[in-house]
Amino acid sequence: MKALIHSYLFAAFALLLPTWAVAVDLPTPEAPKIEAGGYLLLDFQSGNVLAQFNADERMEPASLTKIMTAYVVFNELSEGNLKLDDEVLVSEKAWRTSGSKMFIEVGKRIRVEDLIQGMIIQSGNDASVALAEHIAGSEMTFAELMNAQAKRLGMIHSHFTNAPGLPNPNHYSTPRDIAILATALIRDFPQYYRWYSQAEFTYNGIKQQNRNRLLSQDPSVDGVKTGFTDAAGYCLVSSAKRDGQRMIAVVMKTPNPTVRARDSLALLNYGFRFFETHVLFPAQKPLETLRIWKGSMKALPVGSATDVAVTIPRGRYDQLTTRLEKPAELFAPVAAGEAIGEIVIALGEQDIKRIPLVALQEVTLGGIWRRMIDTVLRWFQ
């Protein structure tokens, strides 16, 4: 009885303590079980991968291909080579393209903006081919543009042969590459990303719903694209933003539309529940000033060329530390943006991220007198 009373007293006392006095650093649970051939979850801002399975395995992307088709189209718009009001003449090939359709008609002229919505919201294979032919002259030439962009973005395990994502032995990608692509599309073309959250689109009197079920199930979801063929299974790239944090999930080769939606949402919820993202310092912010010898200047500010963000398990922000790994001596000339070391971010005792430490301005070679003075000064170091 006395022991029981003591246990009650201890429990009551613990309730009166501040939360920091009884907090326990619990491990982050494993990601939920996903019924997919491959998947990947990452934080958009930091790029940190939070869960993955078969992320580098070659798979058929089906209509996820249209994310790359859209990326090329958006790039043409941004460079001024294409306008939303431009009219596209529909070829017989585009009209006859099999699979999901926007229901365009051969010989008709259709605005680029309508075709984009038909491709994104209605997943129109016909719209994809019409845009490809208008931009590059032929779908084959357009595929070369797709592969060039894939290479530039670092999608090293992808190759595209057509604009809609129709099956072809040489048409493939991976969950990781698709996540890289989705990240780039949201980052590079925010002005066009809005179409991915559009619930429906009507063309030629035919209204079609966006195939992404998550748009109606979770208000934080605003994209991105579904895909399906018999060989590819049911695929989905989803993205959601909650309290300023954005997650991107890719699931490929799921057995049915219900599973791909359910498991995608499970991944997104896991990321938001158990991880937090912090921008440690912005791009071009001087983190330190280094002595540089024999240059037109004596001091060189160094930092990161891009924003430095990191995603960590919730509640562990106070365990983050950073350090600069830099050369013992630094000599001119140094170009602006030149990497001269690394920024290392650690969580507790473990290094979790390395970012190039770059020169934030150019330092040219100093004159003869400056070089002579610095030579003498170094003797006395």
**More confident site: 5 or 345:** 345
**Residue pair 340/359 in contact by the 8 Å Cβ criterion:** yes
Look at residue 326 in the predicted model and tell me its pLDDT.
94
Q: Give the tens place of pLDDT for each residue, 174-212.
A: 999 999 999 999 999 999 999 999 999 999 999 999 999
**More confident site: 83 or 375:** 83
Residue 43 clears pLDDT 70, i.e. is over it: yes
Look at residue 377 in the predicted model and tell me its pLDDT.
75
Q: Which of 2-6, 263-267, 313-317, 356-360 has the lowest mean pLDDT?
A: 2-6
| Tokens linked to 52 | 């993955």
| End-to-end Cα, the chain, rounded Å | 74
* Rounded CA separation 279/43 (Å): 12
Query: 282-379 — its CATH code?
Result: 2.60.410.10
Q: Give the tens place of pLDDT for each residue, 361-374.
A: 999 987 888 777 75
Q: Give the tens place of pLDDT for each residue, 331-344.
A: 999 999 999 999 99
**Residue pair 106/92 in contact by the 8 Å Cβ criterion:** yes
Look at residue 380 in the predicted model and tell me its pLDDT.
77
Binding residues for substrate: 225
Tokens 């081919």, residue? 129
Homologous superfamily of the 38-275 domain (CATH): DD-peptidase/beta-lactamase superfamily (3.40.710.10)
For 374, phi then psi, to 5°, come to -65, -35
**Residue pair 31/50 in contact by the 8 Å Cβ criterion:** yes
The residues of the chain that CATH labels 3.40.710.10 are: 38-275
Catalytic residue list: 63, 66, 123
Look at residue 21 in the predicted model and tell me its pLDDT.
34
Binding residues: 225
Q: What mean pLDDT is predicted for residues 221-246?
A: 97
Look at residue 48 in the predicted model and tell me its pLDDT.
96
Q: What mean pLDDT is predicted for residues 72-86?
A: 98
Task: Using alpha carbons, list the distances in angstroms from residue 135 to 73, 105, 164, 314.
Answer: 8, 19, 15, 46
Residue 23 clears pLDDT 60, i.e. is over it: no
Q: Give the tens place of pLDDT for each residue, 114-169.
A: 999 999 999 999 999 999 999 999 999 999 999 999 999 999 999 999 999 999 99
**Percent of all residues in the chain with a pLDDT value above 90, rounded to a whole number:** 87
**How many CA atoms, within 13 angstroms, populate the side-chain half-sphere of residue 91?**
14
Kindly report the average pLDDT of the chain as a whole number: 92
Q: What mean pLDDT is predicted for residues 37-43?
A: 98
Report the interhelical angle of 139-153 vs 175-188 (nearest 10°): 90
Look at residue 182 in the predicted model and tell me its pLDDT.
98
**Percent of all residues in the chain with a pLDDT value above 70, rounded to a whole number:** 93
In single-letter form, the type of residue at position 123 comes to S
**More confident site: 232 or 378:** 232
**How many CA atoms, within 13 angstroms, populate the side-chain half-sphere of residue 54?**
14
Residue 60 clears pLDDT 80, i.e. is over it: yes
**Residue pair 179/40 in contact by the 8 Å Cβ criterion:** yes
Return the HEC string of 263-331.
HHHHHHHHHHHHEEEEEEECCCCCCEEEECECECCCEEEEECCCCEEEEEECCCHHHEEEEEECCCCCE
Look at residue 374 in the predicted model and tell me its pLDDT.
55
14 confidence band (pLDDT: 50, 70, 90): very low
In single-letter form, the type of residue at position 114 comes to D
Look at residue 25 in the predicted model and tell me its pLDDT.
54
Rg of the chain over all Cα atoms, to the nearest angstrom:
26
| Tokens linked to 325 | 């790994």
